[in-house]
């Protein structure tokens, strides 16, 4: 596709439910990032994938959060047993080779936990 | 730990004026710096990427400069337009750590 695509664009879920957020990176991009942006806050790094290397999971806030990237392309961020503090915009980005190359962001998924 | 600061947090200027946005970072061992804009309710749009070996990059009315040794970057916007109203974010990447570390942004309003 022409850009990074994220789905759904909006998600409302009940506290305690699991949710999956999807990211389709730009074709051919080997690096993929997930960030979280809470209301009025800055961008918080969550996880980084580069090719076939082990992902950098250092930003995941708890073990309720996990992510995978299948076939070096599509990525899914899963939040288990959602809490109200998980409400935020989840942004995905990709870049051609990671370090040194320009990162392009998707439009984000707005998650609301009620 | 890298920390990125953007001051001011908000800025309003009349249409047509030139303006400068500031970004500072504490660890000068950066690989590159990227400027983004974010419109309300939207994702981030990449504006300019400056590698650590570069002094500046230009795209249209935008010019970004980098002074790595002093830990500073500026984004210069010439002849501002109402469509430039957005939040502007800078982000740095450090050697050995491929994530982007973001500043908290400057919310720019251009007054028609």
Report the candidate in B92, B83, B71 with the shortest Cα–Cα distance to residue B112.
Answer: B83
Asked if the bond preceding B77 is cis, omega within 30° of 0, the reply is no
Instruction: List the single residue in A with minimal CA-CA distance to B52.
Output: A100
A23 - beta bridge partners? A6, A75
pLDDT-based confidence at A71, cuts 50/70/90? Answer: confident
pLDDT-based confidence at B80, cuts 50/70/90? Answer: very high
- Whether the per-residue pLDDT at A42 is higher than 90: the answer is no
Please judge whether A91 and B44 are an interchain contact, meaning their C-beta atoms are less than 8 angstroms apart. yes
**Percent of chain B at pLDDT exceeding 70:** 100
Please, are residues B73 and B67 in contact by the beta-carbon 8 Å criterion?
yes
> What pLDDT score was predicted for residue A51?
87
Segment holding B37, helix H or strand E: strand B30-38
The structure tokens listed for A108 are 């984000």
> What pLDDT score was predicted for residue A1?
52
Taking the Cβ of residue A104 and every Cβ of chain B, the question of whether any pair is shorter than 8 Å is answered with yes
Please, are residues A2 and A15 in contact by the beta-carbon 8 Å criterion?
no
- Whether the per-residue pLDDT at A25 is higher than 70: the answer is yes
Q: What is the DSSP string of B1-34?
A: ---EE-S-SEEEEETT--EEEEEEES---EEEEE
Burial class (CB within 10 angstroms; exposed 0-12, middle 13-18, buried 19+) of B22: middle
Please judge whether A105 and B44 are an interchain contact, meaning their C-beta atoms are less than 8 angstroms apart. yes
A-facing residues of B in 23-42 (CB < 8 A) are 31-32, 34, 36, 41-42
- Whether the per-residue pLDDT at B58 is higher than 80: the answer is yes
> What pLDDT score was predicted for residue A52?
85
Q: Which residues have CB under 8 Å from B74's CB, separation 6+? A: B20, B21, B22, B23, B64, B65
Query: Which residue from A33, A102, A107 is facing B99, i.e. has the nearest CB?
Result: A33
Report the candidate in B53, B88, B92, B87 with the shortest Cα–Cα distance to residue B72.
Answer: B92
In this predicted structure, which of A40-54, A72-86, B15-29, B64-78 has the lowest mean pLDDT? A40-54
Query: Which residue from B41, B42, B93 is facing A99, i.e. has the nearest CB?
Result: B93
Please, are residues B19 and B74 in contact by the beta-carbon 8 Å criterion?
no
Instruction: List the single residue in A with minimal CA-CA distance to B3.
Output: A42
- Whether the per-residue pLDDT at A12 is higher than 60: the answer is yes
State the Cα–Cα distance between residues A105 and B36, nearest whole angstrom. 10
């Amino acid at each position: 596709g022409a850009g990074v695509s994220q789905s759904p664009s909006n998600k409302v879920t009940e506290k305690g439910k699991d949710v999956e957020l999807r990211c389709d990176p730009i074709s051919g991009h080997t690096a993929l990032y997930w960030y979280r942006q809470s209301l009025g806050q800055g961008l918080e790094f969550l996880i980084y994938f580069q090719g076939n290397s082990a992902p950098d999971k250092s930003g995941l806030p708890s073990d309720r959060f996990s992510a995978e990237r299948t076939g070096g392309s599509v990525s899914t961020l899963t939040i288990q047993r959602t809490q109200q503090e998980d409400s935020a915009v989840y942004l995905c980005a990709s870049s051609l080779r990671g370090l040194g190359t320009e990162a392009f962001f998707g439009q984000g998924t707005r998650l609301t936990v009620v | 730990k890298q920390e990125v600061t953007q001051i001011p947090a908000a800025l309003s200027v009349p249409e047509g004026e030139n303006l400068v946005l500031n970004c500072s970072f504490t660890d000068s061992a950066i690989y590159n710096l990227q400027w983004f804009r974010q419109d309300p309710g939207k994702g981030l749009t990449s504006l300019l990427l400056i590698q650590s070996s570069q002094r500046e990059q230009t795209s249209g009315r935008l010019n970004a400069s980098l002074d790595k040794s002093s830990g500073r970057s500026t984004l210069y916007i010439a002849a501002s337009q109402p469509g430039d109203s957005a939040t502007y974010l800078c982000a740095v990447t450090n050697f050995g750590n491929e994530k982007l570390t973001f500043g908290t942004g400057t919310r720019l309003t251009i007054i028609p």
